[in-house]
A and B are shown apart, each in its own frame.
Chain A
Amino acid sequence: MSLFWIVIRQLAEIQAMATSKKVITRADWEKKLNDVKVRKEDMNKLVMNFLVTEGYVEAAEKFRLESGTEPDIDLATITDRMAVKKAVQSGNVEDAIEKVNDLNPEILDTNPQLFFHLQQQRLIELIRNGKVEEALEFAQEELAPRGEENQGFLEELERTVALLAFEDVSNCPVGELLDISQRLKTASEVNAAILTSQSHEKDPKLPSLLKMLIWVQTQLDEKASYPRINDLSTAVLEDPAV
Chain B
Amino acid sequence: MPTSATSNHPSRPEDLIGRLNSAHTPYEAKLKALRDLKNQIIGNRTKKLAFLKLGAVPSVVSILSSAAAAQGGGGDNREFYESVLIQSAAVIGSFACGLDAGVKAVLDAGAFPLLLSLISHLNEKVADAGARSLKLIYQSKRAPKYEFLQEKNMEFLLSLLNSKNENVTGLGANIITHSCQTTAEQQALSEAGVIKRLVGLLGGSINQKDASLESLAAMVKENPEVSAKFMGPENGRALNVVIELMKDKHPRTRLLACMCLISIRNTSTSYLQDSGIKNSLVSVLLELLDDPGPVGDEAPFVLSSLITEKEDMQKIAFNANLIEKLCEHLNAGSYQAKRLQGIFLLLGDLCSKLECCRDRVLDLQVLNFVTEALAHDSAEVRTAACNFLKNVSRSVKNLSAGQFMNEAVAVPLVRLLCDSSSSVQIAALGAISNIVVDFMAHKSVLVQCGGVKQLVQLSKSMESAIRVNAVWALRNLTFLVSYRCKEEILLELTSATLISLINDPEPSVQGQALALVRNLVDGTLNSINYVFGEDGAVLHAIARQLRSTSKVEVQIQGMYTLSNVASGNELHKEAVMNQLLPQAGNDAEKTLVKFLQSTDSRLCTATLWALINLTFPGSPGTCRRVTELRNAGIITQLKNMINDHCLDVKLRARMALGQLMIFGSVWTWYTSIKV
Contacts and interface: CB of A to CB of B under 8 A. Distances in A.
B is a partner of A:
yes
Interface of A: 94, 97-98, 101, 105-106, 108-113, 115, 133-134, 136-137, 140, 142, 145, 148-149, 151-152, 196-197, 199, 201
A115 B43 contact: yes
Given A134-B6, A199-B166, A199-B205, A108 B43 contact: yes
User: Taking each of A105, A106, A112, A148, which has the highest tally of chain B beta carbons within 10 Å of its own beta carbon?
Assistant: A105
B206 A196 contact: yes
B42 A109 contact: yes
27 contacts: A94-B8, A98-B35, A101-B39, A101-B90, A105-B38, A105-B42, A109-B43, A109-B94, A109-B97, A109-B98, A110-B97, A111-B43, A115-B42, A115-B44, A133-B4, A134-B6, A137-B3, A137-B4, A140-B1, A145-B44, A145-B46, A148-B46, A149-B46, A151-B335, A152-B336, A199-B204, A199-B205
B292 to A, nearest CB: 8
Contacts of B3: 137
Contacts of A97: 39
B59 interface: no
Interface in B49-97: 90, 93-94, 97
Given A106-B132, A199-B166, A134 B4 contact: yes
B141 interface: no
Interface residues of B, number: 32
A3 B108 CA distance: 63
B207 A105 contact: no
User: Taking each of B44, B132, B204, B249, which has the highest tally of chain A beta carbons within 10 Å of its own beta carbon?
Assistant: B44
Contacts of A199: 166, 204-208
Interface of B: 1-4, 6, 8, 35, 38-39, 42-47, 90, 93-94, 97-98, 132, 136, 166, 204-208, 249, 293, 335-336
Nearest to B47: A145
Nearest to B205: A199
A197 B132 CA distance: 12
Contacts of A112: 43
A45 B97 CA distance: 38
A185 to B, nearest CB: 17
A113 B207 CA distance: 20
Nearest to B292: A152
B472 to A, nearest CB: 38
A149 B90 contact: no
Closest 9 CB pairs of A and B: A199-B205, A115-B43, A145-B46, A108-B43, A105-B90, A109-B97, A199-B206, A108-B42, A109-B42
A145 B90 contact: no
B8 to A, nearest CB: 6
A113 B4 CA distance: 28
A137 B136 contact: no
Contacts of A151: 335-336
A136 B335 CA distance: 28
